Amino acid sequence: MRLIILSLILLTANLTQLSAQDVKFTGRAQTAVVVGDKFQLVYSLNKEGSDIRLPALQDFQILMGPSTSYSTSTTIVNGKVSRETSYTFTFILKALKEGQMSIPPASIMVDDKKVTSNTVSIKVVKGDAQAQQHNQNSQVAGGAPSDDDLFITVTPSKKNVYQGESLVLSTKIYTKVQLEGLSDINQPELSSFITQTLKNEDGIKWSMENINGRTYNVGTYEQKLLFPQKSGKLTIKPTEIEFMVRQRVARSRSRSIFDDFFESNHRTVKKRVKSKPLTINVKPLPSGRPEGYTGGVGQLNMKASVTKTDVTVNDGITLKVVVNGTGNHKFIEEPQIKFPADFDDFDAKITNGISNTTRGMRGSKTYEYLMIPRHAGTFTIPSIKFAYFDPAKGQYKTIESGNINLNVAKGEGNETASSGVVRSNVNKENVKFIGKDIRFINTNKTKLKPIGTFFMGSLSFYLALFIPLSLFILLVLINQKRIKDNSNITLLKTKKANKVAIKRLKKSANFLKAGEKEAFYEEVLRALWGYLSDKLSLPLSELSKDNAGEVLSQYQVSDELKSAIMEILDTCEFARYSPSSGTDEMDQLYKQTITTISKLENQIKR
């Protein structure tokens, strides 16, 4: 009976404790406010309560409250129904003086029991009424925000670091104007650093700061974790951000009662701001790196262990090396391990349990090596040395795991323990009996040929090799020359000038048969001018009778032939607009043009 009573008492106490633990009563407010500004102090309760009481507030004035609200939500996940209830109590307060203030815990009655909340910390900063008034006037007037109203800063957590040591680069926004967003951002290229972005899942958290008597809304836009990869003075170029700022527009009195309804009193302007350049002094790591150094920089530790020390032959063993702490884990190379010669070892499986923090990479990096012993005996893995550089103390440190002894027993196979003889790891196969192990001498009659009667090594053999090779080389040379000639457009045009001219003259012959006089003479002119342009390597736009004659003289063309060319050109230009020319004259001019081009082709050797 006593046991039952004791069990009931313990059960009641546990239920009471669980019920008390289920009640959550929390308070929250802005992290920073301005002296004299109103702000909300909100308490949330997940059970129905009554008689909420605030502590005595000497640094704040209660303007209103509490106003109570109630909400409930139902969630169904995999058929399980859960309900959450929330009661909210809101107070309106006003800060009376600046400083780091704390609001002591509030209390409320839940199920006839008193429940207290957490302490709420608030930073109260001094306001600047004149600056705010100036800012409002400038916005109403529609002026662009000044550099004092909106700017950014890029600051490093450290300006003097060692190579490989982490530092945090923080980009902050300081604003006294209303921002709608970012339209453009130009960040510097950090080629001398390896960068890791610190995640900010909650977005920009805004707070208030008073700088030189001016109160700003301050938010951290981005934080990057940097690891310098070389020593010296490294310069980080400025960051540029273009903001979209919402401004009020000063307008004259409305001309209509509908102007205020359809027209906006605000506009969006763009403001580009730039941070200042930075210089980071990166010191090189000291010389004399110890044995076992694999690139670690930070405050690190190393442990090594095996899954089991007593195994049988061909059983798998996992060697686990864990590097943990704060540093540059991702850039640390594998430790140097000397495995026994009678073990098969495999590449490491690397697991990263690392998170980026403002102090660097924090967590662990695990190397897992699978080993398989092939012979029985007692084996030792020598002590694993892990060396790293501690930037806080400016010196190298070495951690040793100690020797790891492994006892390998004989398995079920034919493997026997070695008696002081070290055997290398070899693959063994059973000897197979294939056919006959002794081959008899051939007893059949053999036909022998005298030296010099074989095809291999004879003159015909070498000719059969040389002739196809020579033909192949000749074809390659011809093909290369053809490719080279085709790539020279000027030379190609020169060689094909005669063909192109003949083709154009055939077209003029068609006009001759059709009796189209003007088209005939125009095509003859085009054929002759085109031939001269291709043959003399002169563009048509630069070709004229005067310079054509001079270039023809350079190629030592006879005066008679030059006169014939000029005569054809004059005849064509005159006959195009002269109605007196007949078919006979056109036919004679066609033949004369063909003859002249043929003679010119023979005299100009290109």
> Do residues 46 and 84 make contact, with C-beta atoms less than 8 angstroms apart?
yes
Residue corresponding to tokens 């950090």 = 190
> Rounded to an integer, what distance in angstroms lies between the CA atom of residue 332 and that of residue 386?
11
Within a domain: 450:
no
> Is residue 587 located within the same domain as residue 494?
yes
Q: What is the mean pLDDT of residues 171-177?
A: 89
pLDDT confidence of 428, banded at 50, 70, 90? very low
Last residue of a domain, one of 124, 157, 175: 124
Asked if 246 and 272 sit in the same domain, the reply is yes
3-class DSSP state of 501: helix
Say if 541 falls within a structural domain.
Answer: yes
Residue 437 pLDDT greater than 60, yes or no: no
Q: Which two tokens stand for residue 101?
A: 């203030």
DSSP 442: P
In a domain, 458, yes or no: no
Q: Is the pTM of this model over 0.85?
A: no
Residue 333 has pLDDT above 70, yes or no: yes
Same domain, 543 and 581: yes
Is the pLDDT assigned to residue 133 strictly greater than 80? no
Closest CA to 180 of 249, 250, 269: 269
Per the model's pLDDT, the better-predicted residue between 257 and 588 turns out to be: 588
Domain residue limits at 520: 490-603
Whole-number pLDDT of residue 233? 93
Task: For residue 260, give every residue at least 6 positions away whose Cβ sits within 8 Å of its Cβ, in sequence order, or none.
Answer: 254
Q: Which of 301-310, 459-468, 498-507 has the highest mean pLDDT?
A: 301-310
Closest CA to 530 of 557, 553, 507, 560: 507
**What are 78's two structure tokens?**
């995999």
**What is the count of structural domains for the chain?**
4
Based on the fold, state whether residues 43 and 118 are members of the same structural domain: yes
Residue 451 lies in a domain: no
- Residue 190 pLDDT exceeds 80: yes
The string of pLDDT tens digits covering residues 92-128 is: 888 888 888 888 898 888 888 888 888 988 888 776 6
pLDDT at site 497: 61
Count of C-beta atoms within a 10 Å radius of residue 561? 16
Query: Which residue would you say has higher pLDDT here, 576 or 228?
Result: 228
Does residue 482 lie in a domain region? no
Residue 547 falls inside a structural domain = yes
Phi, psi of 182 (to 5 degrees): -115, 135
Residue 4 main-chain phi, psi, to 5 deg: -65, -45
pLDDT of residue 321: 94
**Of 10-19, 68-77, 196-205, 302-311, where does mean pLDDT reach its minimum?**
10-19
Is the domain of 310 the same as that of 397? Answer: yes
* Cβ atoms within 10 Å, residue 165: 23
Mean pLDDT of 222-233: 91
Name, in order, each residue with C-beta under 8 angstroms of 594's C-beta and a sequence gap of 6 or more. Answer: 502, 505
Amino acid at 508: S
Identify the CA nearest to 53 among candidates 130, 148, 117. Answer: 117
Instruction: Let me know whether 133 and 275 are in one domain.
Output: yes
Question: What is residue 429's predicted lDDT score, i.e. its pLDDT?
Answer: 42
pLDDT of residue 141: 47
- Side-chain half-sphere CA neighbours of 476 within 13 A: 6
Q: Is residue 386 located within the same domain as residue 371?
A: yes
Pairwise pLDDT comparison (209 vs 306), residue with the higher score: 306
Is the pLDDT at 130 greater than 60? The verdict is no
| Selection from 226-230, 461-465, 561-565 with the highest mean pLDDT | 226-230
Would you say residue 137 lies in a domain? yes
The residues pairing with 350 across neighbouring beta strands, listed in sequence order, are 367
The β-bridge partners of 197 are: 224
Residue 227 burial (10 A CB sphere; 0-12, 13-18, 19+): buried
Q: Which range (249-253, 255-259, 538-542) has the least confidence?
A: 255-259
Q: What is the pLDDT of residue 422?
A: 42
Indicate if the pLDDT at residue 387 is higher than 90: yes
pLDDT at 488 over 80: no
Cβ density class 25-53: b for 16+ within 10 Å, e for less:
bebebbebbbbeeebebbbbbebebeebe
Same structural domain for residues 62 and 205? no
Q: Assess if residue 546 is contained within a domain.
A: yes
pLDDT surpasses 60 at 444: yes
Q: Do 309 and 231 have their domain in common?
A: no
Residues 51 and 91 in one domain: yes
Choice among 2-11, 167-176, 349-358 with the minimum mean pLDDT: 2-11
Domain end position, chosen among 409, 440, 462 = 409
pLDDT category of residue 425 using cuts at 50, 70 and 90: very low
Q: What pLDDT score was predicted for residue 260?
A: 53
Q: What is the mean pLDDT of residues 304-324?
A: 92
Given this model, what pLDDT does residue 426 score?
Answer: 41
276 and 329 belong to one structural domain: no
- Residues 212 and 336 both lie in one domain: no
Average pLDDT in the chain? 79
DSSP state of 313: T
CATH number of the domain enclosing 371 = 2.60.40
